[in-house]
A and B are shown apart, each in its own frame.
Chain A
Amino acid sequence: MIEFEHTGFTYDGETFVLRDIGLSIPQGQFVCILGGNGSGKSTLAKHINALLVPDEGTVTILGHDTRDETATYLIRSNAGMVFQNPDDQLVASLIENDVAFGPENLGVPTDKLRERVTLSLDEVGLQGFEKHETNALSGGQKQRVAIAGVLAMNPRILILDEASAMLDPRGRRGLMRVCKELNERGMTIVMITHFMEEAGLADRVVVLDGGTIALDGTPDEVLVQTEKLDHLNLDVPFACELSRELQKRGVPVSTHVDDQSLEEELCQLLSNR
């Protein structure tokens, strides 16, 4: 569904921000992309909806080469994107107008538009917010409106480019819940983030470093590589860190990614005596 083959990209023609990326994401997968500043993760995301096209190699989305200009709008309507700053991406002052912006651009007939707006707002948990003003919303709500605006185009891929970076914990949890629900209904999700607890919930974690893929696998495979994550200037999930600290102190626990499973093991270990 999303295919990167030997993809390279440079902004200035000299330094490559992406180098020889090979990445294949099947339909319905929840992928988190991690990486420090300058690792190329946002650049990679912008290749998925043809905001950027590769200088080397190819990117194929739903069977269409992103360099094929006739397919650009097809790709963009199928791969919606939510950006970092909630204040920068809402076009209209009224929520319903903003949500309708995408499908309006696609030429969806008026009688279908209303339906799409209502459905999309339902899906992000903002039923009945049609007539509210975007300015009066909290950051988390704005991001959900942005997702609704994307959903109204009926996409199959949702890309979140550090969409939770500027939110408070409550907003972040809400955003994650919406993404999980969408994913359960078959949406492919590509989430750029640097919050480890979010990465822990994904099906797959891809870590970028200097424009190349440094690690790729399930959270259990990737997030336990604590030394490597440290080296890449990334956080280590709390459960991993605690497991590591306990191992240092001679407590025989395995390395966990998820708090819940660590808790279970500790509980067994300590209460069976």
Chain B
Amino acid sequence: MPEIAMFGKYWPGTSPVHRMDPRAKLLLSLVVMANIFVAQSFIGLAVCAAFTAGFFLLAKIPLGKAVRSIAPLAFILVITALLNVFFVQGGTVYFQWWFIQISEAGLVQAAFIAVRLFLLLSSMSLLTLTTATLDITDAFEYLLKPFARIGVPAHELSMIMGIALRFLPQFTTELQTIYRAQISRGATFAASPFRGGLRMLTSLMIPLFTSAFRHAETLSLAMDARCYHGGPGRTRLKPLHYSALDRNAVIVLAAMFAVVFSTNFIPL
């Protein structure tokens, strides 16, 4: 049965990007995102795009697949771009009707934001494409550890994340089945929200929620049965350790930052 393309679903591999320490990868993808924010011009964004494409190449992930994996979030991109088109004004006015006005500045800003968002989503998906979910959550837990002393439940948070990610594809499939079942009973989801639309929505959401509760019930039993009792005393199949790869990655990202930052001084 065809599924919906998953955002950043793990793509197993042995590339240098895959082999990096997940903590380093988590932190460094934040750095990449910061770099994308640092870029203030299209040239800066082009540099970021070049680096991001390079990372994907290094991770041996076909660009087509990468783009497809962010498609589910494309609507964020479109909405943000549209908002900018309508609300940012300045320069030549291209179109005017009643209170709607589209101007040069709006279009430029929309394009800029769209590219920036696209790059952000790509770099986010690169992290999840190259890192198994449990590794991400392990890294997350490790990085949160210093805050455990002030009461942040680091282990529990990471466990929640891990389980949520594990069940995401499953819920996607289940939602699809529920959707098709209700369609078979004559439901029409394209209808206006005011005429029975709410009932249509509950016909999707209620089964999905009950399914989540059902899964949760057994899962908690299954975890009990496998002696789960929280973080203390647990060992790890894959203890985390940094390697030369991570050092090299830091160097590459430092270079990226330097280039992107300097593009901001190029007079346009």
Do A and B originate from a single complex?
A: yes
Q: Name the A residues within 8 Å of B2 (CB-CB).
A: none
Binds B, one of A22-30, A92-100, A220-228: A92-100
Beta-carbon contact of A92 and B166 below 8 Å: yes
Beta-carbon contact of B228 and A93 below 8 Å: no
Interface flag for A80 (CB, 8 Å): yes
Interface members, chain B 227-268 (any A CB < 8 Å): 227-229, 233-239
Interface members, chain A 102-131 (any B CB < 8 Å): 102-110, 113-114, 117, 131
Chain B residue with Cβ nearest A99: B237
Q: Name the B residues within 8 Å of A46 (CB-CB).
A: 221
A91–B165 alpha-carbon span in the complex (Å): 10
Interface flag for A81 (CB, 8 Å): yes
Beta-carbon contact of B235 and A88 below 8 Å: no
Chain A proximity of B177: nearest CB distance (Å): 12
The count of residues in chain B whose C-beta lies closer than 8 Å to any C-beta of chain A is 31
Q: Name the A residues within 8 Å of B233 (CB-CB).
A: 105, 107
Q: Name the B residues within 8 Å of A103 (CB-CB).
A: 235
Chain B residue with Cβ nearest A117: B237
Chain B proximity of A108: nearest CB distance (Å): 6
Report which residue of B10, B214, B219, B239 has the largest number of chain A beta carbons within 10 angstroms of its beta carbon. B219
Beta-carbon contact of A89 and B218 below 8 Å: yes
A114–B234 alpha-carbon span in the complex (Å): 15
Interface flag for B197 (CB, 8 Å): no
Interface members, chain A 151-165 (any B CB < 8 Å): 153
Q: Name the A residues within 8 Å of B224 (CB-CB).
A: 51, 76
Interface flag for A90 (CB, 8 Å): yes
A84–B221 alpha-carbon span in the complex (Å): 12
A133–B169 alpha-carbon span in the complex (Å): 11
| 1/0 contact string of B209-226 vs chain A (CB within 8 Å) | 000001100110111111
Chain A residue with Cβ nearest B228: A105
Interface flag for A243 (CB, 8 Å): no
Beta-carbon contact of B226 and A108 below 8 Å: no
Beta-carbon contact of B234 and A89 below 8 Å: no
Interface flag for B170 (CB, 8 Å): yes
Chain B proximity of A2: nearest CB distance (Å): 16
Chain B residue with Cβ nearest A108: B235
Beta-carbon contact of A93 and B215 below 8 Å: no
Chain A proximity of B138: nearest CB distance (Å): 9
Q: Name the A residues within 8 Å of B229 (CB-CB).
A: 73, 105
Beta-carbon contact of A49 and B12 below 8 Å: no
- Chain A interface bracket (under 10, 10 to 19, 20 to 34, 35 or more): 35 or more
Beta-carbon contact of A87 and B133 below 8 Å: no
Beta-carbon contact of B162 and A110 below 8 Å: no
Q: Name the B residues within 8 Å of A84 (CB-CB).
A: 218
Report which residue of B162, B222, B227 has the largest number of chain A beta carbons within 10 angstroms of its beta carbon. B227
Interface flag for A233 (CB, 8 Å): no
Interface flag for B163 (CB, 8 Å): yes
Interface flag for A212 (CB, 8 Å): no
A106–B163 alpha-carbon span in the complex (Å): 20
Chain B proximity of A114: nearest CB distance (Å): 7
Chain B residue with Cβ nearest A112: B235
Chain B proximity of A79: nearest CB distance (Å): 9
Chain A residue with Cβ nearest B14: A131
A108–B10 alpha-carbon span in the complex (Å): 27
Chain B residue with Cβ nearest A100: B237
Q: Name the A residues within 8 Å of B113 (CB-CB).
A: none
Beta-carbon contact of A107 and B225 below 8 Å: no
A107–B234 alpha-carbon span in the complex (Å): 5
A108–B170 alpha-carbon span in the complex (Å): 30
Beta-carbon contact of B227 and A88 below 8 Å: no
Interface flag for A134 (CB, 8 Å): yes
Interface flag for B132 (CB, 8 Å): yes
Interface flag for A261 (CB, 8 Å): no
12 A-B residue pairs with Cβ-Cβ distance under 8 Å, sorted by A, are: A51-B224, A83-B221, A88-B215, A91-B219, A93-B132, A93-B134, A93-B162, A93-B166, A96-B237, A104-B236, A108-B235, A114-B237
B interface with A by C-beta (< 8 Å): 10, 12, 132-134, 162-163, 165-166, 169-170, 214-215, 218-219, 221-229, 233-239
Top 8 closest pairs, chain A to chain B, by CB:
A88-B218, A89-B222, A100-B237, A102-B226, A105-B227, A81-B225, A97-B134, A93-B133
6 more contacts with CB within 8 A, not counting A104-B236, A105-B227, are A49-B225, A76-B224, A92-B162, A97-B134, A102-B227, A107-B233
